[in-house]
Structure 1
Amino acid sequence: MSQPTHAQDHASTPVLVHDPSLRDGHHAVRHQLGPDQLRAYAEAADAAGVPVVEVGHGNGLGASSLQAGKARLSDDTMLSVVREALRTSRMAVFMLPGWGTTADLKRAIAHQVDVVRIGTHCTEANLAERHLGFLREAGVEAQGVLLMSHMAAPERLARECARLVAYGASAVGIFDSSGHYLPGDVTERIGAIREAVDVPVLFHGHNNLGMAVANSIAAVRAGAGILDACARGFGAGAGNTQLEVLVPVLERLGFRTGIDLYGLLDAADIAERELMPAPPTIDSVAVVSGLAGVFSGFKNRVLDISARQGVDPRDVFFELGERQAVAGQEDLIVDVATALREARGG
């Protein structure tokens, strides 16, 4: 069943929905999803007509490690299972240079991946040049994304996205990695990027301040053509934009997604039943993480380390925000917690 539309102001505008539930959701379960879980959700998302399904370790290809968390399954196994489960949906992967390598990309290509996203810190698009160039030469659709994008001004984000396009990205955009944005922030940034590039622009939201759906709507109204969302919001910290809420909201506004509502709701029910102990919630730590502008994927590590050191995790998040910590700097959590303990004479 398709969602009926009431507003037709955007009736001719399609929006491509990209579903990273099986990648970003891994953060919420310490990267421990098994093959049956991956298969069950991939088949349900495919049946609903979700255009793109992303899979992998939460930090992307090659990231399974003691530092970022050991995944239950290898990249090869995850890609193989999901590739087999998808009939019409396209399969996507994510990679951060430094965690993943060209060798990881070659293995993903061998698994017939359809879309590859290369992510960098918001001011370091140059780190994606080699990998985007490789993918362009390999004939694989490649997208470039800027993480922790609240740390840069709109004009800087626009310049970095223009670099990603020059390197070979067929779509570019920003991640609200810490759930820090309000809708006005998104409008300004997406608008600046839209003016700077001639490829589709994407937005990936997190829900630390309860704004993920509103921010996604702000993004698409500002010209974004690709929106990320996860079933039940399954993702790092307070979770991502909630897929089965975003799609009917888009349809009510007149945007076209091509996703079947009942199939989507069924997929979300399967996700809640099969993938997660409970749907993400905006707890106290998540709020502080969003306010501090700290990567949502740090949540479990901050809680673990704070408990061992006997310090308040909220203090750790605010200090990490002051130090402008980014993904890949997980070791800094230990330094911060230790410093806080010593400062109080512990």
Structure 2
Amino acid sequence: MADSIGAEHIGLILHPANITSGDLQECYTAGARLVRMCLSVTDPDPGLRYVSEAREMGFTVCVNFTRASRLDARSLVDLSSRSAESGANAIYLADSNGSMQPGEVSRRVTLVQEVSGLDVGFHAHNNLGLALANSLAAAHAGAAWMDSSILGMGKGSGNLISEQWIAHLERHHTDPGAFDLGALLDLSAHLRDSVPESTPVLPHTDLLLGRFDLSVEHSARVSADRRSQVHVARELGRVAAA
């Protein structure tokens, strides 16, 4: 991939439990130049050590706050300040449960910026149909990095749809020549026609995960008939929030 499109376009998202320092070095040698490290809220130290190592190797390093909807202000402040101290270039807020609302996104982006002084990114999921609205809220609050995918292809109900995002940027914020929307639409059509699984749908289970701020690990328990699904999801949401 690095030989085909250039090392500056190659990035990795990593979990500290699954890698070693040697893996980081091999990835850099192979051509990756961006790494995003997922931090564990309960034990962020291993991830933060890798952040420092990756910066020393020459990577641009982001940290990823998974399930940001479940992080209270104190946790956000602590993780943000420690990420900055470890040498991160940017902090990503990931709406892993697809449950966040635009106002909530804006407040969290603002808080992380103020505490860390770093660029902030946002990773949307579309469980409640708010991926575009939440991404716009993040951008208006100052987020400089934004995840999207062709057709919105991603976990469950999918992510921010690249075609929508680029169309919005062309219409409202950038020189129309900055992007080739036609080429992007060609790629979208090719993916749609060649990979049947590429277009996300919105199963009732994923909608309920977003409604009650539950992770994908709860999917198996949110089953049975529709009324039972809502009851189980509501109870799981109360437990998770406790």
Give the 3-state SS of the residue equivalent to 1:265 in structure 2. helix
Is residue 302 of structure 1 aligned with residue 220 of structure 2?
yes
Counterparts of residues 63-212 of structure 1 (less than 5 Å): 82-87=1-6, 90-122=9-41, 124-212=43-131
Distance 1:255 1:197, change over 3 A: farther
Contact 2:151 2:198 in 1 (8 A): no
Question: Structure 1 residues 192-201 or 124-133, which shifts more?
Answer: 124-133
Q: Give the gaps of 5 or more residues in structure 2.
A: none
One-letter amino acid of the counterpart of residue 165, structure 1: A
Alpha-carbon distance in 2 for matches of 1:275, 1:122: 35
Alpha-carbon distance, 1:313 to partner = 6.0
Normalized against structure 1, the TM-score is what?
0.62
Give the 3-state SS of the residue equivalent to 1:287 in structure 2. helix
Alpha-carbon distance, 1:166 to partner = 0.9
One-letter amino acid of the counterpart of residue 213, structure 2: G
Alpha-carbon distance in 2 for matches of 1:317, 1:110: 45
1:270 aligned partner: 190
Alpha-carbon distance, 1:294 to partner = 2.2
Alpha-carbon distance, 1:279 to partner = 0.8
> Which structure dedicates a bigger proportion of its chain to helix?
2
Give the 3-state SS of the residue equivalent to 1:282 in structure 2. coil
Alpha-carbon distance in 1 for matches of 2:27, 2:124: 25
- RMSD between superposed Cα atoms in Å: 2.7
Contact 1:161 1:173 in 2 (8 A): no
Count matched residues. Answer: 237
Normalized against structure 2, the TM-score is what?
0.86
Taking every aligned residue pair, what percent have the same amino acid on both sides?
27
Q: Give the gaps of 5 or more residues in structure 1.
A: 1-81, 326-346
Alpha-carbon distance in 1 for matches of 2:239, 2:41: 16
Task: State the structure with bigger RCO (CA 8 A, min sep 6), 1 or 2.
Answer: 1
Alpha-carbon distance, 1:156 to partner = 3.0
1:39-73 Cα deviation digits (max 9, x unpaired):
xxxxxxxxxxxxxxxxxxxxxxxxxxxxxxxxxxx
1:111-148 Cα deviation digits (max 9, x unpaired):
11010000124565434211011112211111111000
1:227 aligned partner: 146
